[in-house]
Structure 1
């Protein structure tokens, strides 16, 4: 039973590691977001490379066919981050994360055409439950009232929607590469390309500020990219894109739980209910999803 659910478990664990982002951000001081993104990627890729060297699995990162898809994964990862953070800046964190995690909707729409996956009725039910839970988890005080119509705000909304589409694209692209590249190779090259693209921001932080935050930045990259990204890539390569996208909704829930338990953030009843709904959705997806023949 557990043997057939390794992909599910990898996604869930990877998203839990991703969910530690708020903890690390709370301990990083006086650094711009692009610079933090670069060092997060840098230390994550460094850990992956060290593991490859220690285990002697250099063959894992040999370039094969589908190089364009591999490069596309790295480029989309960076573009997704930029659109997401622009949405955060021009709207608010709650709206940005809600739009980012509409990705299962786009996966469900596109996967029958891109990956030839069938849309199961259970997936639709799970998606409705999960999206409802996410809305409750991230719903700000007073709800989403007072939406503005100025061009900057609307551009932020469009950026958030686009970040969700890009997140869905990343999930499906992993499925397209899985027959050519091992998970370690996908993680190393996609994150390495992302890091390379963010290099211009590497030196935007003064040296004394960098040294002050070095330990946190190294831990941030190792945990969220070196472990989190690697585990989720393993999972996404082993399960259907629809299943993976729904299971990934555990990330904002784990982030909320970390905030409550480690940072002392107060947990409202709507957040608690939302977390339960997302967990129920994840259980439904994992319980019904069959073992894939191509694993």
Structure 2
């Protein structure tokens, strides 16, 4: 039975992009005395410059010409800005564990939205990876501590609110990216997503003194380039797979985030965290294997017919 050489390529791109995304916590730890909005603005700005010069040098600027469904590009940029602000606000008010848990409820929203918007059928086979991934995130965040922290007051409730919004907007972003896959390439979507988000974050650029910006310049520059590279890989890959599959593979981000947090930032690693990572990796393996086999089978049938 012949095997399609690039059948695993979109999955590897989503996986690699998600792992690189896990370095966000390391960069944020290195940035000092800047608001969330200012950090996001700088990241988006350097990322946009990276994409533009790459396309300029490769002679591919024509990819940026707006085509159909331009209004969805605006939606994509808005959703990206909302996700970033809500996610980091959730970290500020309720801590990283709660923020990660609520952000990665996105697969639940994707599984609810994808069948009606994208026409992707839900099957019982996709239920097991979803349950494994959700169980993994719950173990990572140690829900017992969540219940105890309910007594901390209004800031915690604000964190819950922002976290729920980040999960909803992240899930909607995945569905929108998939919807635009026939109209825009992955790097084109990344450019417009970054540029439009930058406009929404523009007011935050004036909140940081010049001296503080210059002190953090090297970290912010590397932050922008690294995360934009991850975004390009992720968007390119997710355009070639089902939205439901991509949303589960994206759960590798908190796994890699915990790894970098433990190895670089020297945070403690709990048994529940390790078990959660195992469940998430298992879910990612199941969905990637199932989709690759389906793709190869479809190719074989076409070659026979």
TM norm structure 1 = 0.93
Q: Aligned in 2, Cα 1:160/1:76: closer, same or farther, shift over 3 Å?
A: same
Is the Cα contact below 8 Å between 2:87 and 2:162 reproduced in 1? yes
Q: CA deviation at 1:65?
A: 1.2
- State how far apart, in whole Å, the 1-side matches of 2:199 and 2:116 are: 32
5 Å-filtered alignment, 1:104-115, equals 104-115=107-118
Is the Cα contact below 8 Å between 1:5 and 1:291 reproduced in 2? no
> For 1:184, what is the secondary structure of its paired residue?
helix
Structure 1 unaligned blocks of 5 or more? none
- State how far apart, in whole Å, the 1-side matches of 2:154 and 2:259 are: 35
Moved more, 141-150 or 68-77: 141-150
- State how far apart, in whole Å, the 1-side matches of 2:26 and 2:155 are: 30
| Corresponding residue of 2:73 | 70
Q: CA deviation at 1:203?
A: 2.5
> For 1:180, what is the secondary structure of its paired residue?
coil
Task: Output one character per residue of 1:16-58: Cα deviation in whole Å (capped at 9) or x when no partner.
Answer: 1111111111211111111001001111111111110110101
Is the Cα contact below 8 Å between 1:75 and 1:194 reproduced in 2? yes
| Corresponding residue of 1:41 | 44
Q: CA deviation at 1:264?
A: 2.0
| Corresponding residue of 2:120 | 117
Is the Cα contact below 8 Å between 1:11 and 1:247 reproduced in 2? yes
Is the Cα contact below 8 Å between 2:84 and 2:166 reproduced in 1? yes
User: Displaced runs of 4+ in structure 1, greater than 6 A?
Assistant: none
Is the Cα contact below 8 Å between 2:45 and 2:198 reproduced in 1? yes
Moved more, 173-182 or 131-140: 131-140
- State how far apart, in whole Å, the 2-side matches of 1:65 and 1:40 are: 28
| Corresponding residue of 2:174 | 171
Question: 253, 259, 268: which is aligned to 2:270?
Answer: 268
Q: CA deviation at 1:141?
A: 7.7
Q: Aligned in 2, Cα 1:158/1:203: closer, same or farther, shift over 3 Å?
A: closer
Count how many residue pairs are aligned between Structure 1 and Structure 2.
293
Moved more, 264-273 or 141-150: 141-150
- State how far apart, in whole Å, the 2-side matches of 1:34 and 1:125 are: 37
Q: CA deviation at 1:259?
A: 1.4
Question: 12, 15, 22: which is aligned to 1:12?
Answer: 15
Q: CA deviation at 1:159?
A: 2.8
